[in-house]
Chain A
């Protein structure tokens, strides 16, 4: 029984791990690879205003079935405000009310969108031909002239609107200049186009939205013109006449109106911030797991606060690094300073990036070694000497940071992320090995440690690896199983094939 104890344990660990993994992938749809092309966006609108006293009402327009995107999730963030949402014409609105707020107020609307094939949604009904506007002279005859001219050069409703907008952009025509000033912006142009299109009985409307860009703040609101061609609304860019929205354009509201309407408050400011959401496929799976009442997903890291999640994204790679060290030491036979020092160095390489990390590490260790050799002459006791090395290491890091900053190498600042005590211990060990076993051994072990750190780093920054371990922490059981398996590896190390090479070709048994 004792013989089978370890193999059984390893099998059990692997089976549990793969079982949970398999269930999460197949039944709950957790993605095995990190989302590469992101089609999920978190959009945050911040509305700030100053109350003028009394009960405040803020009506804020919010997206309603924007073309090409679908709402996954939305939050309204506001303290002490009552909230109702409802439709107002073509738009959806959120109405915040508070009895007597004071000071500058900020309320937030946060929503997650994902890309949606726009043909999935049933097209809105044709609103019917637009009511012809009543123009006064000289507008009436100018409008008739413009419509005539445009009609001659267009084939259908879409091209009509397109030609009209193009005419407006390259407006040399006095008739057009009557409707839209030459220096008019997109909104003026769209407004004029809607009136003129109405003259041709074509229904048109204004659309406002933002271009979704990752990590963007204070995104400008862009205005578009939408024309109904009896089947669907066709967007036309009033800036260049192009048809169709660009990818990732989020239409926020329709109509010639402001997105915020305040009562007993003033100075409304609306700003938009956008981030790509990398985790969304996972979130979707998480939501599905909740719907299916599966308890496995309850143990997920995704329920933790984001800061803790980010910490675990790094920490969960440590077991993988430790397994790599086991492989390198017991199967390959690499010699390193300290057992897990390379893992810690690899972790700091995550922050500094590889080449820079290697250069900085080598620099600090070599400088530290030189100073350590000097300290040797002072004949200090062990602990004070170690403390002195730590102090020197910190000062070296400081000097490198300041120096590289003044040389304009901003990345040199990352040196502060090295674990200084580990560096000091490395220097101490290296110097002892240097003295006792000679520089050859010290440098060999130094290179071994560095190599192990690099291998660990390359694995630990692998986005697939990180994603797998983070989304499927049960895979750590496999890591444990592999480590236990290696714990009984009795075969030769690769380095021993070289070490014992003198025996090759010798007469033997």
Chain B
């Protein structure tokens, strides 16, 4: 593999770069006043519940250091839970507790943490350590997703999720993000998670990208990552498409987790989804977006119709024909 790719080839493949994303998608399609809807995960959750979109259950919110004492009662009787900042970004500041060990709590990495550690984490969140711009934040305590065994063999700790990029309400590209030892349980490609391309029409995984290299197997477990069919794919696509109405954002990243019992849950929304999804799918966003731009029917179809449209239009047969 060459150590670089020519701009010409990138262009030919319709790869969207960071600058184009910022100008064409984010600045043009995402009105700034709507950012709070996705940047504040508490607000997102509230809206999603109102719209009947499935999200992990919220156990409680801590807003002040004074209130931080309530942490003990909020988690009383709960074996596992997640503490996360309402304004966090890039998966920062999310603490996953998978179980208890006497007075101590077991983190997703297996390391034990005491009550004081949890309280310090909460106070860090409240002081704005993980929030964009460092403004004071809220800490959310919520349901820990018991992830579906579908990705069990191809994840190392943490929660694998499915990132879908939604353009004008149409889910145009998706990838599964599998945590690795190096990513410390986080499903962030930048931190070393494996990104796996998903055929948007069928929901079957393809090859993966890990640290900018193509991989066929998970680097920690060694299991093949291709050919995994995600169940109820059309439902997941419709769920993701529905987030467009929820937020009013034209370029949106929807992170979905598959819960063993509850099915697909929206974990968080992102108003500035990255571009790694293109590497995972070995395809550029440009061609798919052009196809969506070309239709834009009036009146706008429902999320289910849009998901079905994508599945029909982006079929592999059509894709090779272009």
Contacts and interface: CB of A to CB of B under 8 A. Distances in A.
Nearest to B24: A490
B65 A498 contact: no
A503 interface: yes
B3 A496 contact: no
Given A379-B116, A383-B127, A491 B19 contact: yes
Contacts of B14: 509
A6 to B, nearest CB: 11
Given A500-B279, A504-B1, A382 B190 contact: no
Contacts of B216: none
Interface string B12-36: 1111011110011000000000000
A333 interface: yes
B9 A504 contact: yes
Nearest to A507: B282
A490 B28 CA distance: 13
Given A488-B23, A497-B10, A437 B17 contact: no
A503 B123 contact: no
B17 A490 contact: yes
A501 B127 contact: no
Interface stretch (B207-215, B230-238, B239-247, B301-309): B207-215
Contacts of A381: 65, 123, 127
B7 A508 contact: no
B4 A382 contact: no
Interface string A472-505: 0000000000000000111111001111111111
Given A381-B65, A493-B19, A500 B5 contact: yes
Given A492-B19, A496-B10, A496-B18, A509 B5 contact: no
A501 B191 contact: no
A432 interface: yes
A50 B20 CA distance: 77
Contacts of A508: 12-13, 282-283
Contact of A501 (B4, B93, B120, B283): B4
A503 B279 contact: yes
B2 interface: yes
A436 interface: yes
A209 B191 CA distance: 74
A488 B20 CA distance: 9
B157 interface: no
A506 interface: yes
Nearest to A330: B19
B322 A509 contact: yes
B128 interface: yes
Interface in B105-123: 116, 120, 123
Nearest to B192: A438
Contacts of A499: 212, 279
Contacts of B192: 438
A499 B278 CA distance: 11
B129 interface: yes
Contacts of A500: 5, 10, 15, 278-279
A333 B18 contact: yes
B287 interface: yes
B101 to A, nearest CB: 21
Contact of A492 (B10, B128, B134, B190): B10
B124 interface: yes
B202 interface: no
B92 interface: yes
Contacts of B3: 498, 501
Contact of A509 (B134, B184, B209, B283): B283
Q: Which of the listed residues B10, B123, B279, B319 has the most CB atoms from chain A within 10 Å of its own CB?
A: B10
Nearest to B127: A382
A503 B13 contact: yes
A502 B209 contact: yes
Interface string B299-322: 000000000000000000001001
A502 B19 contact: no
B298 interface: no
Contacts, number: 112
B183 to A, nearest CB: 9
B19 A490 contact: yes
Nearest to B129: A382
Q: Which of the listed residues A381, A437, A492, A503 has the most CB atoms from chain B within 10 Å of its own CB?
A: A503
Interface string A431-458: 0100011100100000000000000000
B6 interface: yes
A336 B14 CA distance: 28
Interface in A455-475: none
Given A382-B129, A502-B1, A496 B282 contact: no
Contacts of A509: 12-14, 283-284, 287, 319, 322
Nearest to B211: A502
A501 B319 contact: no
Contacts of B278: 500, 503
A501 B92 contact: no
Contacts of B209: 502
Interface in A61-120: none
Nearest to A383: B127
B128 A501 contact: no
A333 B90 CA distance: 19
Contacts of B2: 501, 504-505
Contacts of A489: 19
B1 A501 contact: yes
A499 B17 CA distance: 10
A502 B9 contact: no
Nearest to A436: B92
Given A488-B23, A509-B13, A509-B283, A502 B213 contact: yes
A492 B18 CA distance: 7
Contacts of A506: 214, 282
A437 B91 CA distance: 10
A375 B231 CA distance: 47
A382 to B, nearest CB: 3
A503 B92 CA distance: 28
A503 B5 CA distance: 8
A265 to B, nearest CB: 68
Nearest to B21: A490
Contacts of B287: 509
B129 A503 contact: no
B5 A437 contact: no
Contacts of A382: 124, 127-129, 134
15 contacts: A379-B120, A432-B92, A441-B191, A488-B23, A491-B17, A491-B20, A492-B19, A496-B15, A497-B4, A502-B213, A502-B214, A503-B278, A504-B1, A504-B4, A509-B14
Given A492-B10, A493-B17, 14 more contacts: A436-B191, A438-B191, A488-B23, A491-B7, A491-B20, A492-B11, A497-B4, A501-B1, A501-B3, A502-B213, A502-B279, A508-B13, A509-B14, A509-B322
The 8 closest A-B pairs by CB, nearest first: A382-B127, A379-B120, A504-B5, A492-B17, A490-B20, A497-B4, A508-B13, A436-B92
